Structures are given as C-alpha cells and as structure tokens.
Amino acid sequence: MSATIDVADPGLYESGDPAATWAHLRATKPVFWNEHPPGRGFWSVMSYRPALEVYRNTGAFTSELGMRVGSDPAAVAAAAGKMLIVTDPPVHPQLRGLMNSAFVPRVVATLEESMRRVIEPLVEKALEKETVDFVSEVAAVLPAAIICDIMDVPQAERSTMIELTSQAFGASVGVSTDFASDCPMDGLDKTEAHSEIFLYYTDLVEERRRNPGDDVVSAMIRGDMGGRRLTDEEVLLNCDGLVTGANETTRHASAAGLMALIQNPDEWRRLKTGAVGIDSAVDEVLRYTSPALHVMRVAKRDVEVGGQHVRAGDSVVLWNSSANRDESEFLDPDRFDLGRTPNRHLTFGMGPHFCLGAPLARVELKVLLQVLAERVGRMELTGPVKRMRSNFMWGIDRLPVALTRDIR
Ligand code: HEM
C-alpha cells in the first residue's frame, strides 16, 4: 500500500470499502501526519486508544477552531462560542444544559411512539412497490421527522420541512413520500433549501418567544446562561446545529445498516427471530456504519498523542470510523455481529461533546429495525449502490432495494 495515503481523500469513501486502508494504517502508523492538501495537513489518529487520549484531554484541545476537516474558517469563527459543537467551556456546559432538556428519557420515550407512526407507513409503502430507493424514500424522512418533533413544528408545516431538510442534506433527489406530496418546494438546490430552513426557524423563534412550549427552541429561549438569555442569533445557530447534526448522520446509519443486513443474511435472520437483543443490534449498526467518519480538534499547546509530538496550533483528526474497527478493542472488527458485546464504539464521539442527539438516533434505529423485523421477510439489492463522496460523512446516496413480506 502507498506510503502517502490521504485518509481525507473523499474518493476513498466513494469508491468502496476503506476498511483495508484503515487496518493498514492502524498497523503501521496509528497516528501520522496526513498531507491534505499538499503542503498543508493535520494529524490523523486511526486507532482507538490514541483517539480516546484526545477526546479525554479537553485541557489541551479546542473545538472552537472547527471540528471537521476543510470547514470554512470564517463560518467557524462566526459560530465559535455560540453553536454548541464549536464551543469550549465555560459556555459549552451551560448551553448544553439548556439544550439537553429536550433529550431526557421522558421526552425520548414519547418520540418512540411518534417514530413508529412515521416508520410503519414508510415500510408498508416500500413493501407495496417492486423497488424503492431506501435512502430517499425511507432513511431521509426519519431524521427530518424527528427534528420536527423535538422542535414541535406544527403538523401543517411538517411536510414542507421534511421535504426542505431532505433537499438540503440529501443527495440531489428529494423525498418521495406522502409526507412531501403537498410540498411546494420542488426545484430548490441544497443551499437554497438550507436558507429556507433558516428563514423558517427565524419565524419559529419569534413565535416561541410569544408562545413558549416544551420544545428545545423554547428551552433555549427561556434558559439562563449565567445571568443572561441567548440571543436570537445563538438560538438560530443551535437550531441549525440540531438540524445538521441529525440529518447528516442518522440517514446514513439507517441506509448503511439496511445494506449490512442484506449483505449478512445470517444476522438478518438473528434479528428477525429475536436471537439478538434490539439494543445490541442498534449499537452494532452504529459501530459498523460509523456515519461520522471523523471529528477534529486543534491543539492549544504542545502535547503527545500516541507517541507523536503535536505542536500548538496543529489540527488533530480522530477517525472514529477506523477506531471502531480497531482489533485491539473489537474482536473480529470487520464482522457485522448484531450480538457484539462489549461494544464501546466511538460513533457518537466521547467526552463533553458526546452527541447530544444520541438517545434520539438510537430510538430511531431501534424502531426502524423493529418494524423491518416485524414486517419484512426478504430484502435484496435491485441496482447499483451509490456511495457518498465525502470525507466527513460515510454514507450512501442511493440504495435501490426490494422489500418483500415473503421470507423465501
Ligand atoms: C447516527 C446518528 C448520529 C451520529 C453518528 C452522530 C455523531 C456525532 C458525533 C461524533 C458528535 C461529536 C462531535 C465532536 O466531538 O466534536 C456529535 C455531536 C452532536 N450531535 Fe450527533 N450524531 C448523530 C445523531 C444526532 C442527532 C439525531 C442529533 C440531533 C437531534 C445530533 C445532534 C448533535 C449535537 C447538537 C452535537 C454537539 C454536542 C456538543 O458539542 O456538546 N446528532 N454527533
């Protein structure tokens, strides 16, 4: 294998399975200087233990200079210290405390019911058709619907929001479901659709200031940030953070999870017959599909990572996806094993920035797997799979499948 591997080359993820490249790097240089673009670069951390070192060493690293490779420095500077994911202490724990009220178990339990009401008709519709694109017709709808729930978007506006989120975060195809059938937003490109969402939330924030409820937007508006309230800009940035965090990830876990089940019929059988528990199945889908390929930190001072000397100002990129296949932490790591235990994956990161939406993502995957196991007998690919071209999201843009009730 070439000595100059660039794990941030999006082509690596578009063209096939990167597992062999990751394994080679873990074995030969678990922490290495990754040129990207030529002449510049960052430290790439490929293995589990050094990734934990960085996650845990919050004193030495900041998120306020960006948390992903290639982000626009001006956009990061505008959001740093205001948007949760690019905010360090002391603001981070205060802001997280406010937003967390929307993710407590009582709220998540009610969402489980709501998710079932979304997922069942989508799967039923897929069963009626000869073939469906699982990404646009099922997986893309779920995170958009869950975001509407936690923000309490009025029912009458949900189909528009679901369509807009799908356009803003999906491949270049919109959703084609009942939820979007009355949507007037056809023909918008991704940036326009994202701007429309932003405008929508501007109105929603205004409305919630007048009529607060139990949703996350009201929690942010009401919350006390050490003697002051969040500004509209801060509330909006965090609405956007939630929409982005939910949509760019859960969709890929659902679609790639379905593909893994198709490729591993024994595991599908174990799920269908109840031979494996649903919670361990969800965790294995999360580990195996690792939708967030990496997160980034910037060193605030000189520090050692996995035996390498990292200088103040250097970017350090933690490849969660590769750490999740580390053979020193996971037995037979490239095997999709729904009964895997323990399963201490890094799919949601680790430490103070551990994914705020993890309970929601888990519920969504749980209900999806349950509904598939209850209603679907056989699943097969019906055409070429299109993988996403990205070094941040490991995902699938198009997954043509046939779902049938029949098990033969
Ligand atoms: C399978 C689905 C998901 C994956 C793989 C995922 C992954 C991640 C990861 C790796 C982080 C840590 C970032 C860092 O350390 O810099 C994170 C943070 C975050 N995620 Fe998720 N996420 C998922 C679903 C969601 C959902 C459904 C939501 C919202 C409803 C969400 C909202 C957030 C937010 C707001 C943060 C920032 C937390 C903080 O900085 O304290 N995510 N996510």
What distance in angstroms lies between residue 254's CA and the mean position of ligand 1's atoms? 15
C-alpha 79/C-alpha 73 separation (Å) is 10
| 323 Cβ closer than 6 Å to some ligand 1 atom | no
Please give the pLDDT value at position 3. Answer: 55
4 domain-assigned: no
140 domain-assigned: yes
Percent of the chain at pLDDT > 90 equals 76
Q: How many structural domains are present in the chain? A: 1
368 domain-assigned: yes
Q: The pTM is what?
A: 0.94
- Alpha carbon separation from 116 to 145, 163, 316, 369 (Å, rounded): 11, 19, 40, 11
- Locate the ligand 1 atom nearest the alpha carbon of residue 296 and give its number: 16
Ligand 1, atom 41, residue with closest C-alpha: 353
Pocket test of ligand 1: the residue of 235, 355, 362 to mutate, having most ligand atoms within 8 Å of its CB, is 355
3 domain-assigned: no
Residue 280: count of CB within 10 angstroms of its CB:
16
Phi and psi, residue 61, nearest 5°: -130, 150
Q: Is 317 exposed, middle or buried (0-12, 13-18, 19+ CB in 10 A)?
A: buried
Ligand 1, atom 18, residue with closest C-alpha: 355
Instruction: Identify whether 90 is preceded by a cis peptide bond (ω within 30 of 0).
Output: yes
- Let me know: does 382 contact 259? Beta carbons within 8 Å: no
C-alpha 242/C-alpha 150 separation (Å) is 10
- Alpha carbon separation from 205 to 111, 220, 223, 233 (Å, rounded): 22, 10, 14, 10
Ligand 1, atom 30, residue with closest C-alpha: 357
134 domain-assigned: yes
Phi and psi, residue 358, nearest 5°: -55, -45
What distance in angstroms lies between residue 241's CA and the mean position of ligand 1's atoms? 9
Q: Which of these, 47, 45, 50, 36, lies nearest to 6 by C-alpha position? A: 36
84 domain-assigned: yes
C-alpha 66/C-alpha 169 separation (Å) is 20
316 domain-assigned: yes
What distance in angstroms lies between residue 2's CA and the mean position of ligand 1's atoms? 33
Residue numbers of the chain with a pLDDT score lower than 70: 1-3, 170-187, 408
- Locate the ligand 1 atom nearest the alpha carbon of residue 241 and give its number: 35
What distance in angstroms lies between residue 35's CA and the mean position of ligand 1's atoms? 27
Domain ranges, residue 45: 11-404
Please give the pLDDT value at position 179. Answer: 36
- Let me know: does 396 contact 256? Beta carbons within 8 Å: yes
What distance in angstroms lies between residue 406's CA and the mean position of ligand 1's atoms? 37
What distance in angstroms lies between residue 246's CA and the mean position of ligand 1's atoms? 7
Ligand 1, atom 34, residue with closest C-alpha: 356
What distance in angstroms lies between residue 46's CA and the mean position of ligand 1's atoms? 20
| 349 Cβ closer than 6 Å to some ligand 1 atom | yes
Domain CATH code at residue 341 = 1.10.630.10
5 domain-assigned: no
* Residue type present at position 70: G
| 356 Cβ closer than 6 Å to some ligand 1 atom | yes
